[in-house]
Structure formats: structure tokens, C-alpha cells
Structure 1
Amino acid sequence: MTLQKRIWDLIVLAIFVFATTFAMAPWFAFRALKAAAQYEDVQAIGELVDFPAVRRGLTGQLVVDAPANKPEPPSIWRDPLGVFKKAIEPIAPPEPKVDRYLTVAGVSALTRGYAPGAAPPAASGDGSLGSQITNAVKGPYPGIVYWDPNRVRIAVRRPGRDGKITVFTFERRALFTWKLVHIRLPSDERRG
């Protein structure tokens, strides 16, 4: 082989490695999020999740009182007692339903395909290679349902219930840096 042929082969190999790494970076980000949640690494979760964006997305899915469904506020001319009742009722915000999804345990359950609080304990094993392979083979297997250079959606099916799918949306922030920006819950877990 000539030197030019070897250099050309190295360039082609470098392009192939770059393209493969670029395409697989969101998958690695999801695996890193799952591992960080499993091992309760709060700093790593903070680096992998855009919490304000995820909170907005989950709030939109979980809030029962959508603005279009709210009744008109009482008028003093039509309903004077309703106005006084509204004026003296306590001004306490409703219990945030989103918080249970954004805890370490909630993120861990979601990455495994379960709702927060409904996940069985994670199989810890003894840390050997055999137990790690057994846990990996057991599933669930996340799959990429949408991929483009700036946004990727990864779906996780709930074990034993294929109809329940949680979709994680990752957005590219740098060449190989991806952040979680949205979680779409299964349809029966939304609005309440």
C-alpha cells in the first residue's frame, strides 16, 4: 500500500467514526440519564436535563384546568356572593403534580418505562459483568422514533404493557451535547 492510500483510508475511517458518533450521541445521552438516575447522581441529571423546559411540557400535560375550560370569574352585578366567596377563599397554589416526575426517583422510573411511584425496585445485582448483561437483556428497550440533526425522540415501552409509551425528546446544544427538553407521557396518565 502506498502512503496516499493509507492516508485516504484514515480520512474515510475518521469520517465514518465522526458520523457514527454524531448519530449515536442522543442514545448515549439517554443511557447517561438512565444511569445517573439509577445511581442518584443529581449533578449529572442537572447537566442532562433542561428542567424549566421539561417542567413546562409536563405541566401542560398534567394540568386539569386548561385556560379554555375555566369559567368566567364572577361579576359583582350578576353574582355578588360568588365575588365575596372568591375574595375570602385562601389563595394557595394547587399541589404541583409535576414535582413527582422531576425527582431522581421519578426520572429513574420514567427512563425504565414506568410512572413515578409505580416502578418495581431496580435489580441491583452484584455488579459483575454477568448480572449487568442479564439486566441489559431484560429490557425495556428504548427505541429512536424520530431523529434529525438537532432533535431526537426516544420511546420507552412499559414492560408488559406495549400500549404505554413514554417519549423523551432530546435537543442538541453543542456538537455532541444533548439535553432532555420534553417528556411525553402515555395518554392515560395525562390530565391528572
Structure 2
Amino acid sequence: MRKLVTGLAGLALVAFAGAWALSPVFAMQALTRAAEQGDEQALERLVDFPAVRQSLKDELNARMMAEMRAGDSGVDPAWAGLGMLLGPAIVSGAIDAVVTPQGVATMVRTAEAPEPEDVLNRPEASPGKTEDDVRKSWTYRGANRVEVRLTTTDRPDQPLILNMDRQGLFGWRLVEIDLPDA
């Protein structure tokens, strides 16, 4: 009887550890399915939109400031200074327009950042349709963070990186998107 209880406890522990370790894969599959089907409610559950927006604003503002400081653009320094003042507001508005359930769905389906005008026109989601050439790979970046790299066959060296954080024991939410280098 004691061996049976010990065996069942060991089996339960292995099942728990397996489910815990594989939970980000299931979360990414749920995110992909929601993106393919245009399921906005599921996307709202799986994506922390304020965190994603803020991470993209920080990333794009840093890129813009680095380019303006480099001085290689040939832009008059006075205009560059004005751009440094107004740029963050413009970036903020563009990110707010792009990071919507439709915009995130487009990014997950195509492994590309959508153009703002495409999101603003709000094309209807095509249930069941996805880009066949999108490849996904997972990497744990700690016990509570997983990096999902989305690449396409024509751009394998320019991944769109989705960072998901653990929510509770088995839940995961998308909290950050790292855009490919332009």
C-alpha cells in the first residue's frame, strides 16, 4: 500500500512539473488560435495591452533618439531637436493605434509589425487563415518569463520576439514585443 501511495504521489509530481513547464507552449498556442480566429476576448485575456504598449513606446523612442543623436541622417540639428521633442508624442499615438487586438493578431499571424494605416482600416480577421511560413521557437528566460521568437522563411534573421510572463501557476500573458531591427 505504501509503494502505491508513493508511486501515485511521484506520478502526480511529475504530471504537475510537466504541466508547469509546458504551460507557456499551451498559452502561445491559445494566442495563435485567438489571432487566427480574430477572437478579441481571448486576446484581451492573453495580452497585457498597457504593458505591451509601454514596452513598444520605450523601444521605438530609444531607437528614434539614437538615430537623431547619431547625426547621420543629414537633418539640420535644429529640426532634429524639434523631432526629439515631438517624436515621443507621435510614437505614443502610433503605438496606441497599432497595439489593439487586431494589431497583435496581425503580428502573431505574420511575424511582422503592422503598418498603422492597416490597423486603422481594421481589416476583418480571416478565421482559420495564417501565414504558413511563420516559425515559432520558445526559450525560457527565467522561471516566470518565456521568449517566443516568430520568424518567417524569407526573414529568418529578423525575428519578432514576444515575451510572456507567468500569471499564477499555469497562466501566461504577453507583456512585451521586441520588433525586428529595420
TM-score w.r.t. length of structure 1: 0.67
- Tell whether 2:31 aligns with 1:33: yes
Distance 1:97 1:69 in 2: 19
Look up the match of 2:75. Answer: none
How big is each residue's C-alpha offset from its partner over 1:4-24, in whole Å with a ceiling of 9 and x where there is no partner? 222222111111111111111
Give the Cα separation in 2 of the matches to 1:163 and 1:41: 30
Structure having the higher Rg: 1
Counterpart amino acid of residue 109 in structure 1: T
Does the 8 Å contact 1:105/1:116 carry over to 2?
no
- Where do residues 6-21 of structure 1 align in structure 2 (5 Å cutoff)? 6-21=4-19
Q: CA deviation at 1:145?
A: 2.6
Normalised TM-score (structure 2):
0.70
Partner of 1:97: 94
Q: Which residue of 2 aligns with 1:183?
A: 177
Q: Whole-Å Cα distance in 1 between the matches of residues 128 and 178 of structure 2?
A: 27
Which structure: greater helix fraction? 2
Which residue does 1:66 correspond to in 2? 65
Please give the alpha-carbon distance, in whole angstroms, between the structure 1 residues aligned to 2:44 and 2:23. Answer: 18
CA spacing shift, 1:98–1:159, aligned 2, 3 Å: farther
Q: Quickly say closer, same or farther: Cα 1:11–1:139, change in 2 above 3 A.
A: farther
1:124 aligned residue? 128
| Number of equivalent positions | 154
Identity across the alignment (%)? 31
Over the residues paired in the alignment, what is the CA RMSD in angstroms?
Answer: 3.0
Which residue, out of 161, 164, 173, partners 1:167? 161
CA distance in structure 1 between the aligned counterparts of 2:38 and 2:128, rounded to whole angstroms: 13
> In structure 2, what is the equivalent of residue 110 of structure 1?
107
